[in-house]
Amino acid sequence: MLLRMGEWLGALAWALGIRRSVALDGLRRAFPALSDSEQRNIGRASYLQLGRSLVEILLPPKGSALASAVAFPDWDVYEAALARGRGVVFAVAHFGNFELIARAAVRRGMKLSLIVRFLGDALGRRLVAGRLRSGIRLLPERASTGAAVAVLRRGEVLAIPVDQNMRPSRGIFVDFFGEKACTTPAPAVFALRCGAPILTAIPFRRPDGTHVVRMRGPFTTALAGHAAVEDLTRQLNRALEDEVRAHPDHWFWVHRRWKTRPE
């Protein structure tokens, strides 16, 4: 019933045109070969998906209900990376119910710190409160280098979103769906600095409404210096692109991913 309510909210937001032009612009960039109607169908489906996720975040399952709602079939990939003793960097994305899987991972024992942007609106404050209650540690997007390095040196997990548009001074341009996208190099920088393996964690919603989290990696490079950072960042963008192609309705199309352009 709650998921149906979320779908209704998502459908209403689409019908009202809330950031619909932004979503369609992104879909045209990513899938230029699709017809307008096919792009609009994906866009509307992504709004329904967002609505479901919003309801799950505002009224989240707890305890055993949360454990049964999120499955981690690749948990051994994470444990093998953690066993190296250098911490783990997770490149995450606004994909599926990314909020819920973080809480489920902490419940399974993951010591998770998340680098986040400031959220000052009412919904943002509620999200922050929910993260803190669940045991997620939050690090500010700016001036958190020392704290982030400390997380990895303690052998814990550092999660960084990689699908947000960056300013030129804070990002590097790598391909995403064949078009240059200004992308944070932070996962590569921290991993190389601390010798930590990099993984991705991407959740999908199953037909019964529950979630399964796919983990990929570790991502490696034979290069050094800035070339290594660029190579790893390109690999992460390519991995996310593969997931978006497989489940296009799961990604956060309402974000202006290609806003910053190269000179």
Give mean pLDDT in consecutive 10-residue pieces for the chain, a chain of 263 residues: 91 97 98 98 97 88 87 97 98 95 94 85 76 88 90 97 95 97 98 98 94 97 97 98 98 97 90
Domain contains 253? no
What predicted TM-score, i.e. pTM, was given to this entire model?
0.93
Q: Where are the alpha helices (DSSP H) in the chain?
A: 2-15, 20-30, 36-58, 64-69, 75-82, 98-107, 122-134, 145-153, 186-194, 225-246
Residue type, 49: Q
Domain contains 190? yes
Q: How far apart are CA 62 and CA 24, in angstroms?
A: 35
DSSP state of 61: -
Per-residue pLDDT, 263: 84
Q: How far apart are CA 86 and CA 168, in angstroms?
A: 30
Per-residue pLDDT, 258: 97
Both tokens of 32, joined, read 């230029």
| Cβ proximity of 239 and 200 under 8 Å | yes
Long-range CB pairs of 215-224 (<8 Å, 24+ gap) are 215/72, 215/74, 215/75, 215/77, 215/78, 216/74, 216/77, 217/77, 217/81, 218/81
Per-residue pLDDT, 16: 98
Taking alpha carbons only, the member of 209, 176, 232, 231 closest to residue 96 is 209
Domain contains 31? no
Per-residue pLDDT, 244: 98
Domain contains 158? yes
Domain contains 188? yes
Domain contains 108? yes
Domain contains 229? yes
Which residues span the domain enclosing 115? 69-247
Domain contains 256? no
For the chain, the domain total comes to 1
